[in-house]
Every structure is written in structure tokens, then in C-alpha cells.
Homo-oligomer: A and B are copies of this chain.
């Protein structure tokens, strides 16, 4: 393996090993020693790539942030109605998190820093605004029941997604997060969508049809 590829592989191995620990234990309880043991690396190899545990955490947070940016972009131009795009975005996010510990750890680290201490949880606020925009667009198309408040729907869905992730993480390492997210959407969207609205696109709905 050329030296550059080896360096890349080592950096990825560190990120992956750290993600395994952060995902289970959070930032404070994760020890560098445990990360090195998991990756089979020396302190020297570690410090060649990262100056500190904090730097690894930041790299993981940055990576998840970039990925969500891509996911949001990809759903913007998908050509499905806003509520279906919302469903697809939530479902895809949960599927990716269940499958990828690096992503999961980044999400946890980011959320742990924003939620649980005084201050504005800016990632959460960003998602809440994005979801409210989707729901408001659905309203403009006539896809909502009368009286539905897009901001209230966004608050409910964001909170429900956060809670579902935390419970799923504590009980199944997020293995049941995809089904929990689909349950949430299946319990909320029919309440807010007009009776004529139908989920469009090739959405995978293993938790049963979305409909009242």
C-alpha cells in the first residue's frame, strides 16, 4: 500500500474505533486508551493523525454535518411532493444511522453538546426550520388538513426523532431506529395531511402504509 493510502487507512481506523466508543459511552466517558486498544494502534500513531480526543470528536461531528447537507440537497431536487420528501428524508437518515457507527457517533456527539446544557441547540433549530418549510409547502399545495400549524408539526417531528434515536440507541444500538422513525411518521403524517394525500415515490414502508 502506498504511504498515502496507509495514512488514510490509519486515520479511518482511528475514526471508526473512536466512533464505536463515543457511540456507546458519549464523549466524557470515552478513553483514548480504549480507542487505541480497539484500533490496535500506538499513541504515536494516533498523535500523528489527531492532536487530541477532542479533535477526533470534531472530525466525526464535521463528517455527519457534511453528510446531512448531502441528504438534504438530494431530497430538494427529487421531484416528490413535500410530505413524501419529508418521509423519505427521515427514513433515509434513520437507515443510514442504523448502518453506520461513524455517522451515529457524530450525531450523538453533536447532540450531546447542544442538548442537555443551556444554550441554543442550533442543529436542532436548523432541522426544525427545514421541516416547517416542507410542511408549509405542503400546505400551499393543498396537502394539509385545515388548521395544521407547520411549526407545531416540525416541533413534534423533531422531538419525536430525537427521543426515538436516544431510546433506540440505549436499547438496540439504533438497530430499531429505522422502524421507530417510520412508526412516528405513520402516526403523525395522516393527522396533518389532507385525506387525499398519498405517499409518493419508492418509499420503503415496512411499518405499514402511511394512512389514517
Contact = CB atoms under 8 A, between A and B. Distances in A.
Interface of A: 24-26, 28-29, 112, 114-121, 124, 145, 147, 152-153, 155-156, 158-164, 166-167, 169-171, 173, 180, 183-184, 186-188, 190-192, 207-208, 212
A28 to B, nearest CB: 7
Contacts of A173: 118
A146 to B, nearest CB: 11
25 contacts: A25-B117, A25-B118, A26-B116, A116-B169, A118-B170, A118-B173, A120-B170, A120-B171, A121-B170, A124-B170, A152-B187, A156-B160, A156-B183, A156-B184, A156-B187, A156-B188, A158-B167, A159-B163, A159-B166, A159-B184, A160-B184, A162-B163, A166-B166, A187-B192, A188-B188
Contacts of A118: 24-25, 170, 173
